[in-house]
Structure 1
Amino acid sequence: MSIGWTPIAEEAERAARLRHPDRHSMPKPAHRRILTVANQKGGVGKTTSTVNIAAALAMHGLRVLVVDLDPQGNASTALGVEHRAGTPSIYEALLGEIGIVEATAVSTASDNLLCVPATIDLAGAEIELVSMVARESRLRQALSDEVLDELAVDYVLIDCPPSLGLLTVNALVAAAEVLIPIQCEYYALEGLGQLLSNIDLVRSHLNTALHVSTILLTMYDGRTKLADQVTSEVRQHFGGTVLRTVIPRSVKVSEAPGYSQTVLAYDPGSRGAMSYVDAAREIAQYGSRMGGPETNGA
C-alpha cells in the first residue's frame, strides 16, 4: 500500500539523493572553468554560494578548487580548512613566496574539494601589491595551467571580498567567467552597474576572455511580492545568463558556516541544500556544452 506524499517523505527523498551523489553525477566541463564570484555589495550570499556550489560539484564527481580571496576567510571556515595566521595561504601565493599547490588544503566537505585559504594577513595585501610588477595579474600567474593540471581540477571558484579593490581585480584577471549573486531584495541592483563597468574595463585592458556567464538569484522569499518583482527584473535584464534555480532564504543556509560546514553537509535534505545542488547542476550542464577556451568571451 502506498503511503503517498508527505513533507517528511519529500525531505527524506531529497536527502537520499544528496547522500548518494554517485547515482546523479554531473558532467565534466568541455575544458577547465575558472569562475570569479563577485559582487561588491555585502550580504548577497557570495561566499555562501561559492562554497555550496563548489561542494555540490565536488560531491557529484567533479574536482573543484576554491580560492578564498576574502581576508575574513569565511569560505575557508565553511570548508573546514585551517586559516589561522601562519597557515600557508593565498597571501603568500600572491606575493610569490610559495606556490598554490603548497597552500592548497583538502576540505572536510569532500575529497574532491580543495581550498586555498585566506588568513588575516591578506588584509594588508592590497597595499603590498600596489608597488609590485604586474600587480593585477599576480593571481593569474599563481593559477597557471601547469599548477591547475597538477591539482587536476575541473573547476576553480574564486571568492572575492565585498569591494572592487586590487584583490577583486586580480580575481577578474585570473578568470574567464564571472558569477554574480544577486539577492531578491530592495536595492538588489544597486551598485551592479559599477561592477559591470569594472568587468568591462578589465576585459578591455587586462583579460579579453572575461565575461559574465552566470547570475544566481539568492535569498528568495516567495511570500513577498518584492522577491518576484526583483526576479522578473533581473531575468528581463540579463536573460539566459540567469540560472533557472533560485536560492531560497533559509535559516539552515545561514546556520551552516557556524559549524564549519556547507549547508549540504549540515542539512542535506533542506530546500537550501537542494537548491544549491540544482544550481550546480545547471552550471555543470552549461560547462559540458561549452566550446574550447578560445570561445570564452565571444
Structure 2
Amino acid sequence: MSARILAVANRKGGTAKTTTVVNLAAALAHRGLRVLLVDLDTQGHTGLGFGVRAAPGEPTVHDLYRNAGPVDLGRAIRPTNVPQVDIVPADRGFSGPDGVVAPLGLATALKPLAADYAITLIDTAPTADALLINALASAHHVLVPTQLHHLAVDGVGQFARSYFQVATTLNPDLGGLSIMPVQVDLRITMQREALQRLEARFGRERLLPGIRPDIALAEAFGREVPVKYFKPRSRAVHDFDVLCSHVMEKVFAI
C-alpha cells in the first residue's frame, strides 16, 4: 500500500471539513494505518480536535508561506492523543503569505514526509486562494464534504472547476474527486433533490455514503478527541467507519 495524500476541501464554509478530517483520521488509524494531518486552515481546528495547539514561535505548516528560506516540515510534526495519528499544526496567527506562493510548495515539502505515513490528510480553508491550490497540487484524491441544499450543490460545482484546473495543469497525479454529503436526512425533500442534482452532475460513482446529524460530533470537539473516543457507539462513529471503507477503496485504488 503506497502512501497517499487526501485533501479535504470545499470553497464553501460550514461543510464539516474539519470534522471530517478529525474523525476520518481516527477511523483510518483504528484500521492500523499511520496518518499524518496537515492543518492548512488558520483556524487550527483540526489540531484542537486532537488537543494540539502550536504555541507562538513553534514550527507550523504556515512557515512554508513566509519568506524565511527552505522549511523542514518534519520539525513541525507533533504527536496527537490518538495512536498512529500525527499532525503538522496551523499557525492561528497567520495573516497571509509574505509573497507569491509557489504552486508546488506544499507538495515539495511533503515528499520527504509522506513515505512515513500510509495516508496524509490535508484540512483546507474555505477559499479559492493559493493555499487551496497548494493542497490540490499535493493530493492524489480530493474529498468534498457538502450539505444537501441547492446553494451547496452550486458550491461543489464551483470547487470542481478549481479541481479540474489543477488536475490538468499542476498535478497529473490528482486521480479522483469524491463528494460526501453531511447532515444527511433524506426524509427532507430538498435533500433528496440536491442529492439527485449531484448524481446527475458528477455521477453516482463520485458520491460517497453521507454522515447523519449527531450532536456527539460537536461534543467530542469540546473534549478534544475524535468522536470514536468520546461516544464509541454513536451513529457518527458508524457513519465514519463506513466512510473510511469507501475512502480507502477510492484512494488506494489509484
TM-score by length of 1: 0.79
Correspondence for 1:35: 6
Q: Is the 8 A contact 1:199 1:211 kept in 2?
A: no
Distance of 2:4 and 2:131 partners within structure 1: 20
Q: Is the 8 A contact 2:144 2:156 kept in 1?
A: no
SS of aligned partner of 1:219: coil
Question: Is 2:158 aligned against 1:177?
Answer: no
SS of aligned partner of 1:281: helix
Correspondence for 2:74: 101
Structure index of larger Rg: 1
Per-residue deviation at 1:285? Answer: 3.0
Q: What are the within-5 Å matches in structure 2 for residues 1-298 of structure 1?
A: 30-95=1-66, 96=69, 98-108=71-81, 110-125=82-97, 128-130=98-100, 135-144=102-111, 146-149=112-115, 152-238=116-202, 239-243=204-208, 245-288=209-252, 290=253
Q: Is the 8 A contact 1:180 1:215 kept in 2?
A: yes
Q: What CA RMSD, in Å, does the superposition of the two structures yield over aligned residues?
A: 1.8
Distance of 1:264 and 1:123 partners within structure 2: 33
Distance of 2:147 and 2:190 partners within structure 1: 11
Per-residue deviation at 1:273? Answer: 1.6
Question: Which string of whole-angstrom CA distances, capped at 9 and with x for unpartnered residues, describes residues 217-245 of structure 1?
Answer: 111124422222222322333221111x2
Alpha-carbon distance change, 176 to 285 in structure 1, aligned in 2, over 3 angstroms: closer
- Structure 2 gap segments, 5+ residues each: none
SS of aligned partner of 2:154: coil
Distance of 2:4 and 2:207 partners within structure 1: 18
Per-residue deviation at 1:38? Answer: 0.8
Q: Is the 8 A contact 1:46 1:159 kept in 2?
A: yes
Distance of 1:105 and 1:202 partners within structure 2: 29
Q: Is the 8 A contact 2:148 2:182 kept in 1?
A: yes
Distance of 2:221 and 2:150 partners within structure 1: 25
Distance of 1:89 and 1:200 partners within structure 2: 29
Distance of 1:50 and 1:73 partners within structure 2: 12
Distance of 1:180 and 1:209 partners within structure 2: 18
Question: Which string of whole-angstrom CA distances, capped at 9 and with x for unpartnered residues, describes residues 73-97 of structure 1?
Answer: 0111102212232222101244455
- Structure 1 gap segments, 5+ residues each: 1-29, 292-298
Aligned sequence identity (%):
31
Q: Is the 8 A contact 1:94 1:142 kept in 2?
A: no
Distance of 1:72 and 1:84 partners within structure 2: 14
Q: Is the 8 A contact 1:37 1:50 kept in 2?
A: yes
SS of aligned partner of 1:143: helix
Per-residue deviation at 1:191? Answer: 2.4
Q: Is the 8 A contact 2:141 2:251 kept in 1?
A: no
Distance of 2:99 and 2:9 partners within structure 1: 20
Q: Is the 8 A contact 1:104 1:115 kept in 2?
A: yes
Q: More helix per residue: 1 or 2?
A: 1
